[in-house]
């Protein structure tokens, strides 16, 4: 069965600083990987996704993520954080479980940005 771990529950960074949010997954085959952002009371917005090919993926809002098969990781990065990036970030793995394709979400990382 697939699983996703986001080790950091909370992260605080200063505006303008770089950011890395960690995501580790467990899945027997090549997974489909996603990062979503959620503002309070809102739905999910897709930041980026990885299916195959180039392991460095560019997304919206200046985010990027790198798929590292050897480390079973798909960490999200941003070189310079803006105050508007404060939100909850979820990593998700798409894969087949008992013949059904589904997503498994990580527990989320709450980002706080200091002015």
Partner 1 sequence: GAVVSQHPSRVICKSGTSVKIECRSLDFQATTMFWYRQFPKQSLMLMATSNEGSKATYEQGVEKDKFLINHASLTLSTLTVTSAHPEDSSFYICSADSQGVEQFFGPGTRLTVL
Q: Which residues bind partner 1 (CB under 8 A)?
A: 32, 34, 36, 41-44, 46, 49, 51, 90, 94, 100-108, 110
* Strand partners for 21: 76
d(CA 57, CA 48): 7
Chain centroid to Cα 23, Å, comes to 6
Q: Which is nearer to partner 1, 80 or 107 (CB)?
A: 107
Nearest approach in angstroms of CB 16 to partner 1 is 27
Least distance (Å) between residue 51 CB and partner 1 = 7
Minimum CB distance to partner 1 smaller for 59 or for 108? 108
Pick 42 or 84: Cβ nearer partner 1 = 42
Q: How far apart are CA 22 and CA 38, in angstroms?
A: 16
| Euclidean distance between CA atoms 44 and 110, whole angstroms | 14
Helix (H, G, I), strand (E, B) or coil at 83: helix
- Taking the complex as a whole, the smallest distance from the CB of residue 6 to partner 1 amounts, in Å, to 9
Q: Could you identify the residue written with the tokens 């979503």?
A: 36
């Amino acid at each position: 069965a697939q699983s996703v771990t986001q080790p950091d529950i909370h992260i605080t960074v200063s505006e303008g600083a770089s950011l890395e949010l960690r995501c580790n997954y467990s899945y027997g085959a090549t997974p489909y990987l996603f990062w979503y952002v959620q503002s309070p009371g809102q739905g999910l917005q897709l930041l980026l996704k990885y299916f195959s090919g180039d392991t460095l993926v560019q997304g919206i809002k200046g985010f990027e993520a790198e798929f590292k098969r050897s480390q079973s990781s798909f960490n999200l990065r941003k070189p310079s954080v803006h105050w508007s990036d404060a939100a909850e970030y979820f990593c998700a793995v798409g894969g087949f479980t008992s013949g059904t394709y589904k997503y498994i979400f990580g527990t989320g990382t709450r980002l706080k940005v200091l002015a």
